[in-house]
């Protein structure tokens, strides 16, 4: 008569852990791809952020903004 010994439960546990780890890796991959896709700032957005933070003055902001608009 066949019975479940300790080896069966160990393998059962390893298979569950294997599939959980595979699911976590897949989830992390898609999360990474999505975060890269949605976090892109345009050069104008960066310029506006730097101006709002006080990193550049109004004159430099206007010069760089004209250069960006000219390049588009």
Residue 16 placed within a domain: no
List Cβ neighbours of 43 (8 Å cut-off, separation of 6 or more).
68
Residue 7 placed within a domain: no
- Residue whose tokens read 């700032």: 41
Q: Are 30 and 55 in contact (CB under 8 A)?
A: no
Residue 67 placed within a domain: yes
- Predicted pLDDT of residue 40: 76
Residue 24 placed within a domain: no
Per the structure, the complete domain to which residue 47 belongs is given by 37-72
- Does the pTM surpass 0.75? The reply is no
Burial class (CB within 10 angstroms; exposed 0-12, middle 13-18, buried 19+) of 21:
exposed
Residue 47 placed within a domain: yes
Residue 28 placed within a domain: no
- Predicted pLDDT of residue 2: 56
Residue 66 placed within a domain: yes
Query: What is the total count of domains within the chain?
Result: 1
Residue 36 CA to chain centroid, in angstroms? Answer: 4
pLDDT in tens, the chain (72 residues): 456 677 777 888 899 999 999 999 999 999 988 877 766 788 999 999 999 999 999 999 999 999 999 876
């Amino acid at each position: 008569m066949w019975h479940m010994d300790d080896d069966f439960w160990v393998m059962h546990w390893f298979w569950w852990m294997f599939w959980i780890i595979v699911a976590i890796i897949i989830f992390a991959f898609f999360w990474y791809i999505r975060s890269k896709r949605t976090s892109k700032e345009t050069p104008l957005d960066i310029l506006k952020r730097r101006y709002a933070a006080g990193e550049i003055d109004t004159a430099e902001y206007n010069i760089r903004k004209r250069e960006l608009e000219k390049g588009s």
